[in-house]
Each structure stands twice: as C-alpha cells, then as structure tokens.
Structure 1
C-alpha cells in the first residue's frame, strides 16, 4: 500500500523491449533512493506498483507486463523521462496522503492548464468515462502517483490544483495540454460506485 506522497523523482535511463508490449525499465535517482529497498520490494512509479528485480543504491530495474503496458502511460515512456517514486508504506509510517493501491484505473488527458498566482490548475478527461462516477469534488484522487484533492468536476472532466511544493517535488510540473497521466480513484469511491451499481441492477431486475 502507498499514500500518494512522492518521495523522489527519478528518470528512465533504459528501456528494453523483452516481448511484444513487455518492457524492462531502469530508473535512476540522484540520491541513494533504492538503498533501503530489497529485491522483490514494491515501488510505485507514476502510480503503478512495480517489483524491483535488480538494483543498486541509485538504480533499479522493473519488468512491465502487457496489461500494465496497455492501460498506463508506461506505453509512452521515453529515455530521461522524469517519474514519481514512492516506496511501499510501513505499518509504522505516518499516513499523510490517502490509501493508494498502485493499481491504476486508467489514463486521463490534460485538457486545460492555467496558472493563477502560484497555483497551477489542471483539468483532466479520463479515457474511460465511467471513472467519473468515482470522482467527486473534495474527494481524493491519485494522478501519476500523487495524492491530490479534486477541486471541481463536470460530466466528463475533473480539475485539481497544484501548489508550489507539489510542482517542485513531482513530475506534474512537466504537464501540458494533450499529455497523459495515470489515475487511480479513491478506494471508498470504488466501493460506493459498486454498491450503487448493484442496487440499480437489483432494482432493474425486480
């Protein structure tokens, strides 16, 4: 489990195609971010939970299988691209963000970007329209691994605000209109959406 609080920004330093839509990624950091991690440990990269298969103190290798390739921005990765990193949460850790599984629900596209004062406002449209049922104002959402609060929604889009700290310590400062991100909706919203769907189905079938 993760919290959506980015601990480091690394970069993709190697992309090796292993089979069709299967990759091996090498991620490198400026500091010894991977030093305390074990081979086999889980690391969240841009919101995707991946397993370390080899590492040094500053680099780690990860295998990506086809379902992850098909449903996340991993398919768009290029060399030297910055990525948000977070280690799995310890039971004794402070819980600062919200519950994040690292299981991406889909991708979203930036449809609007504007700055007001020191805040950058970004509007996203999920590639799967049904995800909007799980996104509500003042609710939590994970955008490329970053825990954020939804400011407003309409039928097809949601908007978040980025404060200077988030811009300085994540890769969200690189986003422009037309770019894609991974999104994971809040786990509580998932359960509520599932309950509502079941109740509707039962009523419809009665």
Structure 2
C-alpha cells in the first residue's frame, strides 16, 4: 500500500524486452536507501516489484518487470529512457499517512485537456473523465494521478479538475505536463468498492423485476 506522497523523481535508464514484458531500469536514490529484492515501489502509480538493484558510475539504480497487462493498461507501455518518473516506497506500518490509500493498481489512462496557470505558481489541470470511472470521481474526493495523491477540485461534462500547489509541481512530474499528455489514473479504493457494490445491487434488483 502507498499514500500518493512522492518521495523522489527517478529517471528511466533503460527499457529492455523480457519475454512478453519489459524490464525498466530506473536511476534513484531515496527509495533505494533500504531496498531489497522483492520490495514494492510505486512507479508512476504502478505497484511493481524490485527484481534487481545496484550502483555503478552513474549512481544507484533498480530494476522492475512490467508484464503485458501492465504495459497495455498504463503509460509504462510507452515509456522510454531519459523520462522522469514518480517514485514511492510502500508505506511503513509506523509511517505518516499523508495522502490517501493508494494500491498501485491503475484503473486506466487519461489525457490532459487543459492547464491553467495561476499567479501564485499553482496550476489547475483538466483531465478527460473516462466513462468507466464515471461516478467514482467526485468533487473533494481523492484521485491518484501518476502516483500522486490529489483532491478533485471540479467536475465538468466528461472531465475533472485538480488544483496542484507549486511544491507538488516542483517535486513530481506533474509540473512537466502539457495538454495531450497521458497519465495513469487510480480512483479512491473506497469509491471503487462502492461502485462495484451498487452495480451488483442494481443487477440483482433488475433480475427480480
């Protein structure tokens, strides 16, 4: 489990084919301070398992494997060397819970529709609202975008907004977003279960009619 509070941005060092999937090699420092093979790291919102790690003349690094399902459903399928990437270790039992419950199970990918910059350095970013997530994203509710815990600031016709403070823009990849860019989306886990329960109840009611 994660919290959506990014610990650092790493850089994709290498992407290579491994069977039907791919191995991503990422340069990092903070998340590797206590890393072991088998540890979970949230990579741009995707929970992945560390399969190797080390240090060389370019610095410390770790490797994770992404299976076809992950590559098909997330932005990791199109990632290339040199790209910055949001990183967070799994939450320690005695750690602070600064964001919200993030599983690292991406629901879908969405697209930036517009970015409005404010005088205080913050940005209001509008994203397309996938029809599959309708009803699971609500104003003042939580949403995870590329691994970052954010609060939904507004809902439009087929879109939703988040307001991002300067600090978050600076320490995550959200500050680099442009209109048309794709991001990973994970809805709040409570909203996901409620939506599933309501859907099942509706199906049961329909079957009794």
Q: If the TM-score is normalised by the length of the shorter chain, which range does it land in?
A: over 0.9
Whether the aligned pair in 2 keeps the contact of 1:34 and 1:56 (CA below 8 Å) is no
1:133, 1:106 → 2: CA distance? 15
State how many pairs are aligned.
203
TM-score normalised by length of structure 1: 0.95
Query: 148-157 vs 167-176, which deviates more?
Result: 148-157
Corresponding residue of 2:24: 25
After TM superposition, list the pairs within 5 Å mapping 1:1-206 onto structure 2.
1-20=1-20, 22-29=21-28, 31-56=29-54, 58-117=60-119, 118-126=121-129, 128-206=130-208
2:140, 2:54 → 1: CA distance? 40
Change (3 A) 1:176 1:129: same
2:190, 2:69 → 1: CA distance? 24
SS at match of 1:178: coil
Whether the aligned pair in 2 keeps the contact of 1:35 and 1:56 (CA below 8 Å) is no
1:190, 1:110 → 2: CA distance? 22
SS at match of 1:133: coil
- Runs of 4 or more, structure 1, over 2 Å off, are none
2:13, 2:63 → 1: CA distance? 10
Shift of 1:205: 1.5
1:35-71 Cα deviation digits (max 9, x unpaired): 3111110000000000001102620001110000000
TM-score normalised by length of structure 2: 0.93
Whether the aligned pair in 1 keeps the contact of 2:125 and 2:161 (CA below 8 Å) is yes
Shift of 1:91: 0.7
Q: What value does the CA root-mean-square deviation take over the aligned residues?
A: 1.2
Contiguous gaps of at least 5 residues in structure 1:
none
SS at match of 1:6: coil
